[in-house]
Amino acid sequence: MSPSVALFALISALFYCLAMLVMKSWAAGPSLIGALLIAGALLAAGAFEIAALRHERLGLIYVVILGAEVVVIAGISLFHFGETYSPREIAGIAIVLLGTAVAWA
């Protein structure tokens, strides 16, 4: 995978994470601005994912995006929202990251 394709996949993952974070705040009270941010982030994520898919296989792009999302969302959930993880959830995160590493290699 070329560096530019990996970058497209990682940017896509960041936009998916942004959409998810806005969805988390949406739970406190829906707003038009929130809806527009979610829609914009999902459209941008899709655009970068399409750019990555032009040059690489679907399975590999999906795994890269998923692995990046797990790292970003787990970190933000832990440090910003103060959420905790059970041992089973930590094992699940580790399995996703291990799978990402195996697919990337």
pLDDT for the residue 9: 96
Whole-structure pTM value: 0.89
Q: Which residues neighbour 16 within 8 Å (Cβ) at sequence distance 6 or greater?
A: 41, 42, 45, 65, 69
Average pLDDT (61-80) is 93
Query: What region does 29 belong to: left with phi over 0, alpha with psi -120 to 50, or beta?
Result: left
DSSP 8-state assignment for residue 36? H
Q: What is the pLDDT confidence band of residue 23, given thresholds at 50, 70 and 90? A: very high
Average pLDDT across the chain, whole number: 93
